[in-house]
Amino acid sequence: MNDTTLQNHIDQALAGDQEARDALLDHASDRLLRLTRKMFHGYPSLRRWEQTDDIFQNSMVRLHRALANVRVESVRHFFNLATVQIRRELLDLAKHYYGPEGQGANHHTDQIPSDESGGTIHDRAGRPCDPLGWFDFHAAVERLPEDEQEIVNLLFYEGLTHDEAAKVIGTSSRTLKRRWSAVKMKLHEVLNRDG
Amino acid sequence: MTDRDEELLADLIQKWEELRAMGQDTPAAELCPEHPHLVRELDRRINILKVTSWLDEPLPPADDDDPPAEVPPQEPRTLAGRYRLDTVVAEGGFAQVWQGYDLELQRVVAVKVPKPSRLLSADAFMAEARRVARIKHPGVVQVFDVGRDGDHCFIVSEFVEGGSLGDHLVNNPPAPQQTIRWIAEIADALEHAHLHGVVHRDIKPANILIDSHNRALLGDFGIAQSANRAGKQALSLGTLRYMAPEQLEGKDLDPRSDVFSLGVVLHEALTGKVPYSSLQPNVLRREIVTGVKQVVSPTMSDDIKRICEKALQRDPAKRQISAAQFASELRAALATDTAPTSTNGRRHWWWVGALVLLSGMAAAIAFPRAKKVESSPAAMQQTPGVFSFAGNYIETPVDRFSPVTLEAWIYPTSLPPSGCFVIGSDIRGHNGIGLALYGQQLAYEYLTGFEASDSMVPLKEWTHVAAVFGDAETRLYQNGTLVYTGPATQPDGGTPFVVGRIGATNPDLVFVGQMRCVRISKGERYKADFTPTDSFTPDDSTVLLYDAKHVDGDRVLDLSSSGNDGIWR
């Protein structure tokens, strides 16, 4: 769904069109489903223990409830609202599974070569491979300043291209790319400092 | 690091990103030969971007459907030193069900063990399980025990050997009439549960068990409800394709949500498919919530199709008002000469006679006129001398006021756990004044909500109920005995009284059963216990008096001479 279509849906939803509102919820549901699958993809013990769809449907109910009655004013506003709810659900899911009864006792992240020692170090900003890693990631995003959070919302959670995200925010694609790189640096710092 | 250096680094990072997008992993030293003092920092940042590059990867598509990993065999064990778990017979997202053995009573049992990761509060689960264990009905799988073993809670129930309806549909599809009879039996069991305040929330073929006597039993009560009550993070709410729209929207549920789910089961059992075109969860969610893709198969008979369509209405108010009504409609359809068709479209006529011989006699006697229930509002009043309510109501022209006394002779046949109104009035966004039943408790509504007594109104018995809304207090009388005194209420606007539900434009909380007379009086008619008369007579304080013996078509005559005739709707 491009931002023009989204804006049309938002305009129609504001005018009371239920189908347009449903379409917005569909968009958010789709992102939540894909992010849920990404979170639990490659985590065999959890996929065995739970089906992603089973998990998804429960989160979806709450997402629907959270978004059903809000007044969305713009595409940018919608993305911010939806992403906050989506991240909240993903945080809850991740948190739920890394506890004592969860499957996240062994926390692995990607390993990268160290430029100093030539050996390997654990980098907490690598791709999360278990619920605790995902929880740390989503929580780190929550701790970013709002303007930086918005970049992650649009590019990671909403999956927009650089050009689309730049248009939503009202900046140039070049500036957006620079800010995205800076945000990734910041996330790396937050995850390795606080994680 | 100067601002100028930061600018340079930002530019170099972008250059590196562009080259990387073209497949080139350019070393830092090659990118900034003119700024050797930045190489080390650039290299550090490039490494960070490599580590975080997963953030730029596309997400898997929504219809990605990797098969789950295989489940390793579970080791048999004994819970609480008594229940030996032998084999896993079913496994869902929420729990495993084992065939087990009660070492103390030496009998085969079923043991349901929720997965600890899905259980937010073991205490809440146990409390709910105990509550559900009190539901006793021939159509409900009997719960024997609940307990704990370390981190594991468990429920022990009778072991039903015949398999589930889901198994039957796959392995040995029953004849349509058998399916309908089973589902009517499940509706009976549901009605019983609803009367005890339990909404199942997870009606599906896998939770309908068929015993060796060919009876349908409903299992899995309360699990989802416990989980949902446990709080926001609870993760078990039902099974998507059987869930009612309001369940998906996170709204409050009532028995009609179970009616919807049973409608889906009915559709699936008779046609081999659920009434939706997609099983992809996000698409399916939309289909259920909007109702636009719902397809009720034309291979069903007209009667069954109509029942199914009604149960599957998006708006709960348009569904059967209770599981009991759903059951009665199914039995009425069975008792007619219009047979439902099988999944291959062939009609089965032979079963009609057989069913009448086996069980249809009772159905035919009990529900001979059920088909007329939907024909017209006036047709609801089937029994001479009584008003029969099943979603219909009497609209009065009397705006609410106080002090006022509301009273009626009632014969409830079904009591929704969420409550119902004998006489109600409402204002959107506020509460009105009303004489109500909260579950089975005599209650009244005033401006901030229900006030319920401890007095239980019996089912299927004539009971006189009265609410006196006075200046200083509100009193409830049951059969002339004061049973509750609560706070007074002050009306803040005009809205008419309605008999049989809360308001003319509010379809919720409807009374199901019969009434023979209704009276609304100015002031406090009763200040002490009294002996109610079998019928009401008007006096100076009477504002409205309806008696079911005095109706004219859809017009309900006011016998108080105040001109407040009602409209039967």
pLDDT for residue A113? 42
Question: Which residues of B fall within a CB distance of 8 Å from A13?
Answer: none
Q: Are B277 and B267 in contact (CB under 8 A)?
A: no
B43–A115 C-beta distance less than 8 A: yes
Q: In angstroms, rounded to a whole number, what is the distance separating the alpha carbons of residues A163 and A159?
A: 11
pLDDT for residue A117? 37
Question: Quick one: pLDDT band at residue B234, thresholds 50, 70, 90?
Answer: very low
Min CA distance, B318 vs chain A (Å)?
Answer: 19
Q: In angstroms, rounded to a whole number, what is the distance separating the alpha carbons of residues B254 and B457?
A: 20
Residue B129's alpha-carbon distances to A88, B137, B222, B225, B430, in angstroms, are: 30, 16, 6, 10, 35
Q: Find the range with the poorest average confidence among A4-13, B209-218, B224-233, B250-259.
A: B224-233
Contacts of B244 (CB under 8 A, 6+ apart): B253, B256, B257, B258, B260, B261, B288, B316
More confident residue, B489 or B165: B165
pLDDT for residue A47? 44
In a domain, B64, yes or no: no
Note if the pTM is more than 0.90: no
**What is the pLDDT of chain B when averaged over all its residues?**
79
Which chain A residues in 131-150 lie under 8 Å from chain B, judged by CB atoms? none
Per cent of chain B over pLDDT 70 is 76
Residue B71 exposed, middle or buried by CB count within 10 Å (0-12, 13-18, 19+): exposed
Only one residue has tokens 């005018």, namely A15
Question: Quick one: pLDDT band at residue B116, thresholds 50, 70, 90?
Answer: low
Q: Which helix (H) or strand (E) holds B477?
A: strand B473-478
A116 and chain B: CB distance < 8 Å anywhere? no
Question: Which residues of A fall within a CB distance of 8 Å from B64?
Answer: 37
Q: For the domain that residue B510 is a member of, what is the CATH number?
A: 2.60.120.200
pLDDT for residue B345? 35
Q: Are residues B181 and B313 in the same domain?
A: yes
Q: For the domain that residue B275 is a member of, what is the CATH number?
A: 1.10.510.10
pLDDT for residue A69? 67
Q: In angstroms, rounded to a whole number, what is the distance separating the alpha carbons of residues A142 and A148?
A: 10
Question: Quick one: pLDDT band at residue B386, thresholds 50, 70, 90?
Answer: confident
Contacts of B542 (CB under 8 A, 6+ apart): B519, B520, B521, B522, B536, B560, B562
Residue A90 has phi, psi (to 5 degrees) of: -65, -40
pLDDT for residue B292? 66
How many domains, chain B?
4
Only one residue has tokens 């809850």, namely A92
Q: For the domain that residue B81 is a member of, what is the CATH number?
A: 3.30.200.20
Q: Which helix (H) or strand (E) holds B92?
A: none
Q: Are residues B211 and B347 in the same domain?
A: yes
Identify any residues that bridge with B394 across adjacent strands, giving them in sequence order. Answer: B499, B568
For residue B423, pLDDT beyond 70? yes
Identify any residues that bridge with B536 across adjacent strands, giving them in sequence order. Answer: none
Identify any residues that bridge with B452 across adjacent strands, giving them in sequence order. Answer: B443
Look at strands B496-499 and B420-424 and give their pairing: antiparallel
If you compute the radius of gyration of chain B from its CA atoms, what whole number of angstroms results?
31
Only one residue has tokens 């348009």, namely B318
pLDDT for residue B238? 65
Q: Find the range with the poorest average confidence among A111-120, B120-129, B348-357, B416-425.
A: B348-357
Q: Are residues B194 and B338 in the same domain?
A: yes
In a domain, B323, yes or no: yes
Which tokens belong to B440? Answer: 């089975």
User: Which of B18, B52, B202 should one mutate to test binding to chain A, selecting the residue with the greatest count of A CBs within 10 A?
Assistant: B52
Q: Are residues B249 and B320 in the same domain?
A: yes
Three-state SS for B276? Answer: coil
pLDDT for residue A180? 95
Q: Find the range with the poorest average confidence among B23-37, B124-138, B142-156, B339-353.
A: B339-353
Q: Which domain-ending residue is among B375, B400, B420? A: B375
Question: Which residues of B fall within a CB distance of 8 Å from A174?
Answer: 14
User: Which of B17, B235, B242 should one mutate to test binding to chain A, selecting the residue with the greatest count of A CBs within 10 A?
Assistant: B235
A126–B54 C-beta distance less than 8 A: yes
Question: Quick one: pLDDT band at residue B122, thresholds 50, 70, 90?
Answer: low
Closest CB to A29 among B52, B117, B285: B285
Question: Which residues of A fall within a CB distance of 8 Å from B62?
Answer: 30, 33-34, 37
Residue A144 has phi, psi (to 5 degrees) of: -70, 155
Q: In angstroms, rounded to a whole number, what is the distance separating the alpha carbons of residues B538 and B519?
A: 8
Only one residue has tokens 């959107």, namely B428
Min CA distance, A143 vs chain B (Å)?
Answer: 17
Question: Which residues of B fall within a CB distance of 8 Å from A184?
Answer: 48-49, 52, 55
More confident residue, B463 or A121: B463
Min CA distance, A195 vs chain B (Å)?
Answer: 15
B235–A96 C-beta distance less than 8 A: yes
pLDDT for residue A72? 76
Q: Are residues B340 and B460 in the same domain?
A: no
pLDDT for residue B339? 41
Which tokens belong to B302? Answer: 């007209």
| Residues B95-115 pLDDT 10s | 778 889 999 888 899 998 876
Which tokens belong to B20? Answer: 């990387």
For residue B342, pLDDT beyond 50? no
Closest among A166, A187, A174, A157 to A33, alpha carbons compared? A157
Question: Quick one: pLDDT band at residue B312, thresholds 50, 70, 90?
Answer: very high
Q: Which domain-ending residue is among B158, B179, B209? A: B158
Closest Cα in chain B to A113: B47
Question: Which residues of A fall within a CB distance of 8 Å from B251?
Answer: 65
Residue type, A102: G
Q: Are B546 and B566 in contact (CB under 8 A)?
A: yes
A156–B55 C-beta distance less than 8 A: yes
pLDDT for residue B69? 42
Question: Which residues of B fall within a CB distance of 8 Å from A62?
Answer: 232, 250
In a domain, B289, yes or no: yes
pLDDT for residue A36? 78
Only one residue has tokens 């989204």, namely A6
Only one residue has tokens 């305040």, namely B197
Q: Which domain holds residue B352?
A: 165-375
For residue B214, pLDDT beyond 70? yes
Which chain A residues in 55-94 lie under 8 Å from chain B, judged by CB atoms? 55-58, 60-62, 64-65, 68, 92
Q: Are residues B239 and B365 in the same domain?
A: yes
Size of interface A-B (CB pairs under 8 A): 144
Q: Are A37 and A52 in contact (CB under 8 A)?
A: yes
Q: Are residues B397 and B482 in the same domain?
A: yes
Q: In angstroms, rounded to a whole number, what is the distance separating the alpha carbons of residues B564 and B558?
A: 5
Q: Are residues B559 and B496 in the same domain?
A: yes
Q: Find the range with the poorest average confidence among A50-54, B120-124, B144-148, B314-318.
A: A50-54
Q: Degrees (nearest 5) of the Cα angle B92, B224, B82?
A: 70
B70–A48 C-beta distance less than 8 A: yes
For residue B343, pLDDT beyond 80? no
In a domain, B337, yes or no: yes
In a domain, B230, yes or no: yes
Q: Degrees (nearest 5) of the Cα angle A127, A133, A134?
A: 85
In a domain, B310, yes or no: yes
Q: In angstroms, rounded to a whole number, what is the distance separating the alpha carbons of residues B12 and B201?
A: 58
A178–B60 C-beta distance less than 8 A: no
Closest CB to B235 among A55, A156, A177: A55
Which tokens belong to B168? Answer: 């039957």
A19 and chain B: CB distance < 8 Å anywhere? yes
Q: Are B435 and B408 in contact (CB under 8 A)?
A: yes
Question: Which residues of A fall within a CB distance of 8 Å from B278?
Answer: none
Q: Which helix (H) or strand (E) holds A134?
A: helix A131-143
Q: In angstroms, rounded to a whole number, what is the distance separating the alpha carbons of residues A39 and A184?
A: 19
Residue A124 has phi, psi (to 5 degrees) of: -75, -5
Which tokens belong to B169? Answer: 């549909």
Question: Which residues of A fall within a CB distance of 8 Å from B45?
Answer: 185
In a domain, B62, yes or no: no
Q: Are residues B135 and B175 in the same domain?
A: no
Closest among A145, B192, B16, B508 to A153, alpha carbons compared? A145
Q: Which domain-ending residue is among B143, B158, B173? A: B158
The pLDDT averaged over each successive group of 10 residues in chain A (195 residues) is 73 76 77 78 49 61 70 81 84 67 42 40 76 87 93 90 89 94 93 74
Residue B341 per-residue DSSP state: B
Contacts of A145 (CB under 8 A, 6+ apart): none
More confident residue, B262 or B433: B262
Question: Which residues of A fall within a CB distance of 8 Å from B235?
Answer: 55, 58, 96
Alpha-carbon dihedral of residues B311, B279, B97, B256, nearest 10 degrees?
Answer: -20
In a domain, B413, yes or no: yes
Q: Are residues B319 and B280 in the same domain?
A: yes
Closest CB to B282 among A26, A92, A185: A26
Q: Are residues B430 and B316 in the same domain?
A: no
Question: Which residues of B fall within a CB distance of 8 Å from A61?
Answer: 237, 247-250
User: Which of B282, B283, B289, B314 should one mutate to test binding to chain A, selecting the residue with the greatest count of A CBs within 10 A?
Assistant: B282
Q: Are residues B222 and B255 in the same domain?
A: yes
Closest among B351, B342, B355, B194 to B262, alpha carbons compared? B194
Only one residue has tokens 């939803």, namely A13
